Structure 1
Amino acid sequence: MARTEDILISVHPRHVDSMLSGRKTVELRRRPLKLSAGCRVWIYCTLPRGSVEAIGVVAEVVAAAPSVIWRDYGEQCGITKAEFDAYYEGAGTAYVVVFSLVTKLPSTFALGEIRRHLASFQPPQFFKRLLADGPELNLFNSALPLPVAA
């Protein structure tokens, strides 16, 4: 079976809540992300919660003019048009990560707990690629249920 790619992103609590409720099915970014369909996105909820709480699966990443992104994905953004316009002010290109799935982790990882295992852990400002056998991914994977044997 092919190995999936894993990244960690930081998202504000309001937007994590919108993702988990299904109101927000895309993640907006001002900078490009080179992600493949099927990439697992571990979602760190920023302070005051400060924990890895959810995981998403990328369907695709789309780059286009902000007006096109709003037209095509505005209802999936979980923000108002005014917030969208303010976020992309001055940007010629908008990037959107379209999720096929976002789900709450059965066990979350608070920042303090992560740092007990990985003292130098810092939440990413933009995103961080997780190494296949790296300590962060090994820790986060421990929150997932084991696959059922065939």
Structure 2
Amino acid sequence: MNADSHAMISIHCDHAANIISGVKSVELRRRFMSLPPGSRLWIYSTLPVGALVATATIIAIDYDSPSALWSRYQSEAAVSQTLFFQYFGGCDLGCAIQLGDVEPISPVPLDSIRRIRGVNSIPQVATKISILEASKFEEFRHFR
């Protein structure tokens, strides 16, 4: 595990709930940053939840054509084939982030995330976060 690599990822609230419940073990993206396997993802569930709700470990990041990704991950993606190909419409290359060690956490609300990170907005896709920011998220969820 790469305990030094942390990122926050924004995930639609329905998909975040499916990740937490174990129905979804692969997050799909049209593009994604470079992170090593073992990196820790802090899952931000979009509004109406508006909070960090879980952490997960990146097992692997797989880049390939949408049709190849569908062949490999259709049972883990928790989306219909129609929605999958609509999402990847116009893309030659997509990304499947394989997730493991998903851990629901006490929610860290949007205002606390903003205060800890010193920013007004949450990234639309994902952003790397510092070890210090990750430790403050840990402290918040344990001592609020």
Normalised to the residue count of structure 2, the TM-score between the two structures is 0.89
What's the secondary structure of 2:131's corresponding residue?
coil
Name the larger-Rg structure. Answer: 1
SS state of the match for residue 53, structure 1?
Answer: strand
CA–CA separation in structure 1 for the residues paired with 2:71 and 2:62: 13
CA shift in 2, pair 1:54/1:141, >3 Å: same
Shift in CA distance, 12/32, structure 1 to aligned 2, threshold 3 Å: closer
Alpha-carbon distance in 1 for matches of 2:56, 2:140: 14
Deviation for aligned residue 1:131: 1.4
Q: What SS is found at the alignment partner of 1:142?
A: helix
Aligned to 1:84: 84
Corresponding residue number in structure 1 for 2:102: 102
Matched, 1:33 2:33: yes
SS of 1:104 mapped into structure 2: strand
Q: 1:75 to 1:2 in 2, by over 3 A?
A: closer
**Residue aligning to 2:59:** 59
Kept in 2, the 8 Å contact 1:4–1:38? The answer is: no
Q: Does 1:125 align with 2:124?
A: yes
- Give the Cα–Cα distance (whole angstroms) in 2 for the partners of residues 82 and 129 of structure 1: 31
Structure 1 residues 3, 19: CA separation in 2 closer, same or farther (over 3 Å shift)?
A: closer
Deviations 1:42-69 (A, max 9, x none): 0001111100000010000000111110
Question: How many equivalent residue pairs?
Answer: 142
State the TM-score, normalizing by the size of structure 1: 0.86
**Which one-letter code corresponds to 1:65 in the other structure?**
S
Percentage of pairs with the same residue: 30
1:143–1:77 CA distance, 2 compared to 1 (3 A): farther
Q: Which has the higher helix share?
A: 2
Gaps of 5+ in 2: none
Go from structure 1 to structure 2 and tell me whether the alpha carbon gap of 1:87 and 1:37 turns closer, same or farther (over 3 Å shift).
Answer: same
RMSD, aligned α-carbons: 1.9
